[in-house]
Amino acid sequence: MNLEQLKQLIAEHDIKSIDLKYPDLICNWYHISFPARRLEHVLEHGIPFDGSSIPGMKTVESGDMVMMPDPSTAIIDPFTEFPTLRMLCYICDADTRIGVKKDSRSVAKRAQNYLKKTGIADSSYWIPEFEFYLFNEAEINNGKFSAGYRFTSAENKEDLPGGYKDIDGTAVSNRKGYHIDIPFDKFAYVREDMVQLIEAIDCPIRYHHHEVGLSGQQEIETEMIEFGSVTDKMMYIKDIIHNCALEHELTATFMPKPLYNEAGNGMHFHIQLRKAEKNIFFKKGNYADLSDEALYFIGGILKHGRSLTAFTNPSTNSFKRLLPGFEAPVKLFFGLANRSAAIRIPKYANSEESKRIEFRTGDGTCNYYLAMSALLMAGLDGIKNKIKPTPENGYGPYDDNVFNWSEADQSKLQSIPSSLEEALEALQEDHQYLLEGEVFNKDLINSWITEKMKEVVAVRNRPHPFEMNLYYSI
């Protein structure tokens, strides 16, 4: 969208305010607003701000930064009381106006440019799957003398909100929630509201449904979208889900494992590479009709899978989801239609147009720009170095449920890290593939490890509520 198109949009909707949003390194959102009459000036000069106040960005002695709006991301904000135009920004150096090394949107842009420079492909296409819970109530308390949480759902007889009587008997129990129908799918209308808002920002949705978790677990899945666009749209989608839930007096969480012994929230990524609009992942007659490039791409992701989890599963809670028995992959291998695999090849995607891979390990606590850029870099490293996955190197393909194997056979497969600290250690040891083409850099990686270790220490140093059951009376 150019300046004239922006002006036309502003005039059509009588917009008086423009809201700029940007993510920090961890992917928390920040914003600043200005009168619409200043649009031309801000597009040319940006808005200066103190980068040292944003976690992981800059130090106090060199904090001056500038946010530069990206007109291609402009949308009408669906949640503000007054008509407001929203745009995403690049975080730029105050002198050069070039995206700084630790701006995650700039990382994604560099990853996209690097893909083209390799000559392997000129574009990548992605389908993200958004899994999240909608709770009626979320009470969270953490202090020196008390700690705990309470989530409730009007869908589950064992988890009803305070004062909710379920007089119509539509709350259920003792079954899974996957594709559960109305009236037991109580929040189908909320998902539909979300989907209509998402499609209104030009983001096509493939489908939406109730997920396995009976206490309000949902899924919304997009159609296949080009990398440079999908990352920004994902940020908007997450924002729509949170705000739309609040408008319906609900609360949404993408937390990987909010409920003990219930289904967790993943963030699966379907990936496809194209060159001159031709899908280079397809070759009829090979295993699952995958081309050599596709197999090498898979090999790269599996080889670097342990370090990748530092970006794709970057929370202490992530590794409470990655347990056997919940369709959450814990072993680094691939297979056709295999939901115990880190990389599944969808069996229904059997044409040249649709052939793709699905990375199933990630979750919604990730910074989309960094996680998806890292996956792309790992896959490209696999193609460049012809890292072919085979049963001999333990990467598959395996088409059976590996959790039914003997412990001895399972032990031959490489496992993902069992904690965030272990994932960060893996990233420290294995990150050279991310530095290719200066897509990532050591400063960003060190800052990421530093910021995430703060979370590790914060959780490690606090008594856990269940420890009271175990040890209080000893």
Q: What does the DSSP assignment read for 320-386?
A: HH--TTTT---B--EEET-TTSSEEE-TT--STTT--EEE-S--TTS-HHHHHHHHHHHHHHHHHTT
Nearest-angstrom CA–CA distance, 396 and 266 = 22
Quick check: 128 and 235 in contact, CB under 8 A? no
- Given 12, 40, 44, 50, the catalytic residue: 50
Query: Nearest-CA neighbor of 359 among 383, 381, 377, 375?
Result: 375
Tally of CB atoms within 10 A around 5: 11
Query: Nearest-CA neighbor of 150 among 259, 262, 266, 261?
Result: 259
Query: Nearest-CA neighbor of 22 among 113, 84, 82, 106?
Result: 106
Q: Give the three-state DSSP class for 181.
A: coil
Nearest-angstrom CA–CA distance, 444 and 453 = 14
- Given 24, 70, 131, 289, the catalytic residue: 131
Residue 50 falls in the annotated catalytic set: yes
- Given 185, 289, 358, 421, the catalytic residue: 358
CB-based contacts of 355: which residues, under 8 Å, 6+ apart?
272, 279, 281, 282, 289, 290, 294, 349
How big is the CA angle at 366 (ends 302 and 129), to the nearest 5 degrees? 80
CB-based contacts of 56: which residues, under 8 Å, 6+ apart?
24, 25, 26, 102, 447, 448, 450, 451
Quick check: 437 and 114 in contact, CB under 8 A? yes
What is the per-residue pLDDT for 404? 85
Residue 12 falls in the annotated catalytic set: no
- Given 70, 185, 211, 289, the catalytic residue: 211
Fold of the domain built from segment(s) 3-100: Ubiquitin-like (UB roll) (3.10.20)
Over its C-alpha atoms, the chain yields an Rg (Å, rounded) of 23
Give pLDDT < 50 ranges for the chain.
60-61
- Given 219, 232, 293, 381, the catalytic residue: 219
What is the per-residue pLDDT for 61? 43
Query: Nearest-CA neighbor of 31 among 72, 64, 80?
Result: 80
What is the per-residue pLDDT for 59? 58
- Given 31, 38, 179, 339, the catalytic residue: 339
- Given 191, 304, 360, 431, the catalytic residue: 360
Fold of the domain built from segment(s) 123-471: Creatine Kinase; Chain A, domain 2 (3.30.590)
Biggest CA-to-CA distance, the chain: 72
What is the per-residue pLDDT for 325? 66
Amino acid 139 reads E
Instruction: Write down the pTM of the prediction.
Output: 0.95
Cite the residue boundaries of each domain of the chain with CATH code 3.10.20.70.
Answer: 3-100
Residue 358 falls in the annotated catalytic set: yes
Residue 360 falls in the annotated catalytic set: yes
Q: Which two tokens stand for residue 18?
A: 């423009």
Secondary structure element (H or E) that encloses residue 50, with its range: strand 47-50
What is the per-residue pLDDT for 326? 66
- Given 24, 70, 77, 129, the catalytic residue: 129
Residue 223 falls in the annotated catalytic set: no
Quick check: 85 and 76 in contact, CB under 8 A? yes
Q: Which two tokens stand for residue 193?
A: 């509201």
